[in-house]
Amino acid sequence: MDLKKRIEKFKELEYEFNKDFYMQLKKEQKPHTLFIGCSDSRVDAENIFQATAGEIFQIRNIANIVPREEEPGTHPSVVSAIEYAVKILKVKNIIVCGHSNCGGCAAIRKLEEYKENLPYTGEWISQSISISNYIDYKYPDMSEDNKMIMLEKLNAVQQLDNLMTYDFVRQKFATEELNLQAYYYDIGTGSISVYDYNSVFSDMIKEITSSRKLFLDQDKKMLS
């Protein structure tokens, strides 16, 4: 893989033929959408939306997670990008995109192993362990493959609830200045399922959030 040659081809084949576009683009960015996606290299936001440079502001991380406002040990790099997108860039949409065969979600199913071998990854994905636990509790007889698919979908929708823990998101959503949606991208088929904040999973998300808060309260009592 010769990355230097690819850079040269970009300048020769892309930039030179669209110089006016890039000269205009250098002045400012006006993205209409904040895309919160998994770091997985197979998830390509520009390709999915058929978008050009300047349209999509992106946050990528393992398992497309948004930290909740009220939880300890926050991750300001993710939240700062959300804050900037909403307050400064004034995006009209926030899309959280989960996907099939997600390694991050698979790691949640083996959290203790990951905490031991990949401590930073384990700490990060532990934010979604309540979803995995909920699925095991509610659907004990479900096959592991189906549990994985449900986890991938619920994890994407859960992040909409996590986003709504921030006042600046909640206010924009209430005035319909901001649209929140979760996508589930099936890489093998190319199909994309779309879920609104109030979706078929809403009741499940409420239960998961309640159990999450209960766990945190118990944790605080143990530490006090």
- The 3-state secondary structure of 105-157 reads HHHHCCHHHHHHHCHHHHHHHHHHHHHHHHHHHHCCCCCHHHHHHHHHHHHHH
Give pLDDT, residue 124: 95
Q: How many C-beta atoms lie closer than 10 Å to residue 178's C-beta?
A: 21
What percent helix, strand, coil does the chain show, rounded to 5? Answer: 55, 15, 30
CA 30/CA 128 separation, integer angstroms = 32
pLDDT, one tens digit per residue, over 196-216 is 988 878 888 889 988 876 655
101 bridge partner residues: none
**Domains of the chain, CATH where assigned:** 30-39+69-223 (3.40.1050.10)
Which residue is associated with the tokens 């004034």? 90
Q: In percent, how much of the chain has pLDDT > 70?
A: 93
E-strand stretches of the chain = 33-38, 56-61, 93-99, 179-185, 192-196
121-155 residue pLDDT tens: 999 999 999 999 999 999 999 999 999 999 999 99
Angle at which helices 129-138 and 144-163 cross, to 10°: 130
Spatial separation of the C-alpha atoms in residues 65 and 72, rounded to whole Å = 15
Alpha carbon of 49 to those of 26, 137, 185: distances in Å? Answer: 22, 36, 12
Model pLDDT, residue 112: 93
pLDDT reported for residue 220: 46
- pTM for this predicted structure: 0.91
The residue among 142 and 217 whose pLDDT is bigger is: 142
- Predicted pLDDT at 222: 40
Q: Which candidate, 20, 25, 106, places its Cα nearest to that of 62?
A: 106
